[in-house]
Amino acid sequence: MHTIKGKQYPCCTSVTMGIIGGKWKTVILFHLIEKPLRYNELKKQIDGVTERTLSLQLKTLEEDGVVKRKVYTSKPPLKVVYSLTDFGKTLIPLLKSIADWGNFVVENYAETNS
- Residue 4's pLDDT is 83
Res 113: pLDDT: 62
pLDDT by residue for the chain (114 residues), tens only, comes to 888 888 888 998 999 999 999 899 999 999 999 999 999 999 999 999 999 999 999 999 999 999 999 998 888 888 899 999 999 999 999 999 999 999 999 999 988 765
Report whether CATH 1.10.10.10 matches the domain 20-90: yes
pTM for the whole structure: 0.88
Please tell me what DSSP assigns to residue 78: P
The amino acid that residue 54 corresponds to is L
